[in-house]
A and B are shown apart, each in its own frame.
Chain A
Amino acid sequence: MSVKQISVFLENKKGRLAEVAKTLSHEKINIRALSLADTADFGVLRIIVDNPDRSLTVLKTHGFVAQVTEVIAVEVEDRPGGLSRILEVLDQDNVNVEYMYAYVEKSRENAIVICRIDDRERALQILEKNGIATLSAEALKAL
């Protein structure tokens, strides 16, 4: 199952990231996880929020360039080797992971890993075949 991540285009300009956070917090939207990829000139902020559709509308009306990206959320045991197993499984079948980032929910023992994979359907099948559970949007929200 895939979940929605919000990607935001940010110029490398002081305070832009803070503005995203402020805009969302004004709307009582909680950022669950965040990762920033950037070059010298600009970056892409990736966030997992509790209400992706509303977040997108809010960000766009505040003039941000944002869009929804479908990603996979996997629960990984928070111990050595937890992450490498997933990567191994995907690598065996030549599935390329574009990027990934992880976060830990305080209510859980396990970490949540967010993966962006081009061939999402195939990745989901492979993970399922290997007994690795992916989280649905509802499950993620309920955490």
Chain B
Amino acid sequence: MYWDRDIETMERSALQRLQCERLAATLERAARAPYYRRLLEKTGVADVREPGDISRLPFTTKAELRNEFPYGFLAVPLTDVVRLHSSSGTTGNPTVIYHTKADIIAWQDLVARCMYMAGMRSSDVFQNIMGYGLFTGGLGFHYGAEKLGAMTIPVGPGNSKRQIWFMREFKTTAMHILPSYAMRLATHVKEMGLDPRTDLSVRMAFVGAEPHTEETRRRIEETWNIRAFNSYGLSEMCGPGVAFECPEQSGMHIWEDSFLAEIVEPDTGAPVPDGECGELVLTTLTRTGTPLLRYRTRDLTRIIPGPCPCGRTHRRIDRIRGRSDDMMIINGVNIFPLQVEQTLMRIPGIGSNYLIEIHEENFMDRLHVSVEMAADSFQGTLSQLEGLQSRVLAALRDETGVTPVVKLLEAGSLPAAEGKAVRVVDRRAQSGKGC
């Protein structure tokens, strides 16, 4: 049941002692990176007595990672580095994370722990439908699954026919997939005359890399007749393996032996009590190549108070509610893209793909929501379509307080994303920014 019983069920007090030791070691290591050496000389961190002592340090943000390109955060000699992962830097410098051999081994072990916790075993056949390369999702799960001992099919994303071929030929039982692609792939399975619920052997999926709602997860589970587990990670930490759902499926255990988690108020940086929503801030506790202190993830979540029935003592974070920087402001009203998703996924007959566009019309913001209809819900009448369109409009208006323009699309007509699905496009002249 546990991949690493001692760590996963460690008493809270012992876990906190471990965190302190590792935090002290992390500070020492971090001081070897040029950026943190300068910072720590200024602020001077003496001894760490409790994990909360970290709050005496300033935050690290993505901007600093960019500004210090390429080696400002590197804490070991380059000869000790065995791999780098980097964000796609289309504007400005990319963010680069360097991994030593020890970092890679620790990361593999964390991902194996996650998959084992969800119920994957070495007898499973694991199909990794995620991008390999600089993106951490593919390689992270790949090495985790190998470490666990499951036969791993490194197929990567896209090419639905090939995905289904592998699933059938090798009786895939577990897959790692983007939530948006999980729904699209099911459609392709049906188009081939197969029932994803009964004609395939898939029994579980790991879904992540895109924030998604509980409603979307339930749809994936129903469509495939599988259990889907939410995965949380970010390339600045390691990638996947930071937090993961256990069989209880109520929140993701954040591995506190490897990460020190804080939840802060996004605007002020002040700590937020357990149970309340704020921005997740993470400090690496074992990493050697690129230790990061108090890294602002921009991800909004909360600590779920109380112990988990599964027996693991590591605290749980809630499903990511959005990013502090992807909030849309429509004529002064704050809306999160996931609010739109949640609303759409509750309406029967609506497919799982949607696109939010913000236009400027007559000096006013206008929210446009295009949504695909579910292929098998079409009844052949215009009145059904009109009814569906007005139901979507009313539901979105009730949820957001903004009256959108709703467009009903044919199934499969939104561009198929091989990577993360683009859900929001801001077409307003002054902002010029897509979230």
Contact = CB atoms under 8 A, between A and B. Distances in A.
Interface of A: 7, 9-11, 13, 16, 37-39, 41-44, 46, 60-61, 63-69, 98
B378 A9 contact: yes
A69 B382 contact: no
Which of B382, B409, B413 has most chain A Cβ within 10 Å? B382
A137 B280 CA distance: 64
8 cross-chain pairs, A with B, having the tightest CB-CB distances, nearest first:
A7-B380, A69-B380, A63-B412, A37-B382, A65-B378, A44-B382, A65-B375, A67-B380
Contacts of A44: 380-382, 385
B203 interface: no
A86 B380 CA distance: 24
B422 to A, nearest CB: 19
B323 interface: no
A9 B191 contact: no
Contact of A60 (B375, B385, B409): B375
A65 B382 contact: no
Interface string B404-435: 00011111110000000000000000000000
A7 B408 contact: no
A68 B378 CA distance: 10
B373 A98 contact: no
B380 A39 contact: no
Interface residues of B, number: 19
Contacts of A16: 410
A66 B407 contact: no
A13 B409 CA distance: 10
Nearest to B405: A41
A60 B386 CA distance: 22
A39 B413 contact: no
A20 B192 CA distance: 19
A58 to B, nearest CB: 11
A65 B407 contact: no
A64 B375 CA distance: 8
Nearest to A38: B382
Interface string B369-392: 000010100111110011001000
Interface of B: 191-192, 373, 375, 378-382, 385-386, 389, 407-413
Nearest to A41: B407
B206 to A, nearest CB: 28
Contacts of A46: 380
B258 to A, nearest CB: 44
Nearest to B190: A60
15 contacts: A7-B380, A9-B378, A9-B385, A10-B410, A11-B408, A11-B409, A11-B413, A16-B410, A41-B389, A44-B380, A44-B381, A61-B191, A65-B373, A65-B410, A67-B379
A65 B192 CA distance: 15
A63 B191 contact: yes
Given A60-B191, A63-B191, A65-B373, A98 B381 contact: yes
A40 to B, nearest CB: 10
B410 A9 contact: yes
A7 B382 CA distance: 10
Contacts of A65: 373, 375, 378, 410-411
B410 A11 contact: yes
A45 to B, nearest CB: 10
A69 B412 CA distance: 22
Contact of A43 (B191, B378, B382, B389): B382
A37 to B, nearest CB: 5
Contacts of B412: 63
A76 B245 CA distance: 65
Contacts of A68: 380
Given A9-B373, A11-B413, A64-B410, 5 more contacts: A7-B378, A16-B410, A61-B191, A68-B380, A98-B381
A41 B409 CA distance: 9
Given A9-B373, A60-B191, A61-B191, A42 B408 contact: yes
A42 B385 contact: yes
B382 A39 contact: yes
Contacts of B385: 9, 39, 42, 44
Nearest to B377: A65
Contacts of B375: 60, 65
Contacts of B373: 9, 65
Nearest to B412: A63
B382 A63 contact: no
Nearest to A71: B380
Nearest to B413: A11
B387 to A, nearest CB: 12
A36 B385 CA distance: 14
